[in-house]
Amino acid sequence: MSSVVETPALPRFQPGDYKSDLKPVWCAGCGDFGVVSAMYRAMAELQLEPWNTVVVSGIGCSSRLPGYVEAYGFNSVHGRALPIATGIKVAKPELNVVAVGGDGDGLAIGGNHFLHASRRNLDICYVLMDNEIYGLTKGQAAPTTPSGDKTKSTYFGNPEPSVDPCELAISFGATWVARGFSGDMKSLVDLMVAGMSHHGFAFLNVMSPCVTWRGDDQFKVMKAKLRSLPEGYDRTNRAAAVPYLREKEVLTTGVLYEAHEPSLLDRLEGQRTNAMVGHENLTTEQVLEVFKPPF
C-alpha cells in the first residue's frame, strides 16, 4: 500500500510581514498611521507577494509611505506618482501597483496626471491621503482646504472654493471611486481590498487628519460626522454619487461609484494583437526598418 505524501501548505503572509524596518516619522496622531496599518492588513488579506508589488509616491508627508512597506517602492518627485506608476504597470503588467500621496501632491501639482490616469483606466489603485492642507511645507492652503479656513497662507480665511477628490475622479473617468476615514480601520481595510482587486483605475480618497496644521480636534470632528452609504445605494449610477460629493455636515464613506470597462492594458493588448495580424514572422530588424528615415 503506497502512502500519499502531502505537500506542506505555504505559510500565509501576515500584516506584520509587510512592515519594513524603517520607522515612520509622522507626527504623533497623524491619520497616515491608520492608512499604512490598513494597507498592511489589506495586502495580507489579498496575499500580495512583496516581490511582485510596487508602492509609488510623490512628495509630502503621506508620500513617505513606500519606505514603511516591505515591497518595491519608489518615492518620486512632487506630483509625479501616477506617471511613474503608469510606466511600471505598462512595462510589467503582472505587478501589483499601488500609488499613494496627499491632496496637494495629487490634486495641485499632480492634478494633470490624475486626470489622465483616470481617463485611461490604468489598472492600479491610487490611495490619496487627504488632510486638507500642505503638511510638509508648513501649512499653507491646499486644493481641499475648506473655503474660509485660516491657514499659514490665508490669514483672513481661504478665499478659494475647495475641490472634492471623488468628484474629480468620477468626472475624469475613474471606474472605482471610494471615500474612507483613517480612524475607521475595518471599513478602510475593506475599501483597500476592494480597490486593489478592481480591474481598472481605482481611486480611494482617505480623510487623514493633520494634527499639526488642522488641529487636535479634527479627528474627533470627522469621527462624529461619519456615515455609511444607505442600504440599496446604486454604486453603478454616477448621478447617485452627486449628493455625497460636497458634504459639509456629514462624512459619508464607502464605494461611491463602480464601473467595469476595459483597462488601458486591455486596449493596448488589443492593439498589439491587431497589429500582428499578417506580420507574425517579422524580425526585429524588419520592424525597425519602418522607423528609419529615407535617404
Sign of the dihedral through C-alpha 211, 216, 218, 223: positive
Residues 38 and 192: beta-carbon distance below 8 Å = yes
Which residue stretches of the chain have pLDDT < 50?
Answer: 1-2
pLDDT given for residue 8 in this prediction: 57
User: Which domain, by its residues, includes 94?
Assistant: 15-261
Sheet with strand 96-102: strands edge to edge:
72-75, 53-57, 96-102, 125-130, 202-207, 176-181, 251-258, 226-228
How far is Cα 183 from Cα 245, in angstroms, rounded to an integer? 20
Instruction: With respect to residue 169, please indicate whether it lies within any of the assigned structural domains.
Output: yes
pLDDT given for residue 160 in this prediction: 87
Instruction: With respect to residue 47, please indicate whether it lies within any of the assigned structural domains.
Output: yes
pLDDT given for residue 40 in this prediction: 98
* Number of domains comprising the chain: 1
pLDDT given for residue 73 in this prediction: 96
Among 99, 221, 115, 222, residue whose Cα is nearest residue 165: 115
Instruction: With respect to residue 187, please indicate whether it lies within any of the assigned structural domains.
Output: yes
Instruction: With respect to residue 84, please indicate whether it lies within any of the assigned structural domains.
Output: yes
How far is Cα 295 from Cα 283, in angstroms, rounded to an integer? 22
How far is Cα 209 from Cα 152, in angstroms, rounded to an integer? 17
Q: Give the burial class of 96: count Cβ atoms within 10 A of its Cβ; 0-12 exposed, 13-18 middle, 19 or more buried.
A: buried
CATH number, domain of 146, equals 3.40.50.970
Instruction: Report phi then psi at 5, rounded to 5.
Output: -95, 115
Cell of 224: 462624529
Residues 151 and 140: beta-carbon distance below 8 Å = yes
pLDDT given for residue 1 in this prediction: 46
> How many CB atoms within 10 Å of residue 30?
23
Instruction: With respect to residue 278, please indicate whether it lies within any of the assigned structural domains.
Output: no
pLDDT in tens, 20-30: 999 999 999 99
pLDDT given for residue 9 in this prediction: 63
Instruction: With respect to residue 292, please indicate whether it lies within any of the assigned structural domains.
Output: no
| CB neighbour list of residue 91: distance below 8 Å, 6 or more residues apart | none
Residues 123 and 89: beta-carbon distance below 8 Å = yes
pLDDT given for residue 7 in this prediction: 56
pLDDT given for residue 84 in this prediction: 96
Q: Hey, what amino acid is at 115?
A: L
Cell of 106: 495629487
Instruction: With respect to residue 271, please indicate whether it lies within any of the assigned structural domains.
Output: no
pLDDT given for residue 6 in this prediction: 60
β-strand pairing of 72-75 with 53-57 = parallel
Long-range CB pairs of 18-27 (<8 Å, 24+ gap) are 18/43, 18/44, 18/48, 18/50, 18/69, 18/70, 18/71, 19/68, 19/69, 19/70, 20/67, 20/68, 20/69, 20/70, 22/67, 22/68, 24/64, 24/68, 25/64, 26/61, 26/64, 27/210, 27/211, 27/212
227 beta partners: 252
